[in-house]
Amino acid sequence: MDKKTIIITGGAGFIGSHVVRLFVDKYPDYKVINVDKLTYAGNLANLKDVEGRPNYRFVKADICDFEAMHSLMEAEHVDGIIHLAAESHVDRSIRDPFIFAKTNVLGTLSLLQAAKLYWESLPEKYEGKRFYHISTDEVYGALELTHPEGIEPPFTTKASSGEHHLAYGDTFFYETTKYSPHSPYSASKASSDHFVRAFHDTYGMPVVVTNCSNNYGPYQFPEKLIPLFINNIRHRRPLPVYGKGQNVRDWLYVEDHARAIDLIFHKGKDAETYNIGGFNEWKNIDIVRVLVRTVDRQLGRPEDEDMDLITFVKDRSGHDMRYAIDSTKLQRELGWEPSLQFEEGIEKTVRWYLENQEWMDHVTSGEYMKYYDEMYKDR
């Protein structure tokens, strides 16, 4: 394996920290640079186990700072960028769309232009370089919930192992699906995707884009459904479910996503798009019920004891009914498939949050932000 210097943006966040850890562990000859602004969702405690590694470096910086990004690429002789840094919470995007446009669109453009100028200044130009942009399934819009109780297999997609999975509609998101974003968050990601592809078409930059379904697992910021509800069940707080909880999402264990990113970064084709999904559709209300049973059981409570914590609240604006990713292209061309079924992944995830209550308390209290503000106040 050739030596490379890789920037991973948003590496202190949920998915980013898993990608950083994988690259640091798997590629000791790589220099892995974690660039993160350390906003509310960035937490260096997510990477305590690798912070002292010789092939790892953390840089506190804003991807919107073009000069800083360009200088970093020149100083570190960067060969590749894995771009995960993004504002990603739909509710926040509805309240403040400007920050999503700034970070997700202008931040991506800043990185693209910095990489372009640096790589074009080299004798080899773009040879051996790659800009990998991580996007979301939400840019595709929404799918119809045509089978409220799910389709009995066989249906359109299946894992390469041959195992079929339950689906709630006849259609899926493919790499060729037309973009139709419905929230400020998904609109900002769609725009950034277009900029990435435009830099390939206009300048010849070697890029790859992936669109992934909902992730779950350790170190996820507890504004997202699964860690929030695990913590609420533990403390017997209400579990607010939008509408009637009938919205369907495709769920993927975060370490499986990290493995896919590794594979695509090294073996994916330039200018290609790959969908990454779990073949794993669940209604929101069914996930909440599974979480209640799993948390109660792991805490030694009767499994359904906390079902009365479920409360239905007014649905949010523009709430898409169903997302479902078809990952057949990724499986067929690169041999990737999910390693965990949802039930196994949920068991591991619940156990991690219950065993790491100190991490959860630290995050929910906001104390970690005060620590970072003090540590980096002069940088």
Positions annotated as catalytic residues are 137-138, 185
* Residue 182 CB contacts under 8 Å (≥ 6 apart), including other chains: 138, 141, 142, 318, 320
Give the H or E element holding residue 290.
helix 284-298
- Token readout for 36 is 């993160």
Least Cα distance to 286 among 338, 229, 348, 324 occurs for 229
Cα 22 to Cα 250: distance, rounded to the nearest angstrom: 23
| Two tokens, residue 206 | 């070697």
Q: Which residues pair with 282 in a beta bridge?
A: 249
Q: Are 211 and 196 in contact (CB under 8 A)?
A: no
Dihedrals phi, psi of 205, to nearest 5 degrees: -65, 135
For every residue of 204-249, DSSP letters joined together read ---EEEEEE-EEESTT--TTSHHHHHHHHHHTT--EEEETTS--EE
Distance CA(243)–CA(269), nearest Å, equals 41
**Amino acid identity for residue 345 in this structure:** G
Radius of gyration for the alpha carbons in the chain, expressed in angstroms and rounded: 20
Nearest CA-CA partner of 201 in 132, 271, 264, 265: 271
What is the SS3 assignment for 141? coil
E strand or H helix at 255: helix 254-267
First to last CA, the chain: 34
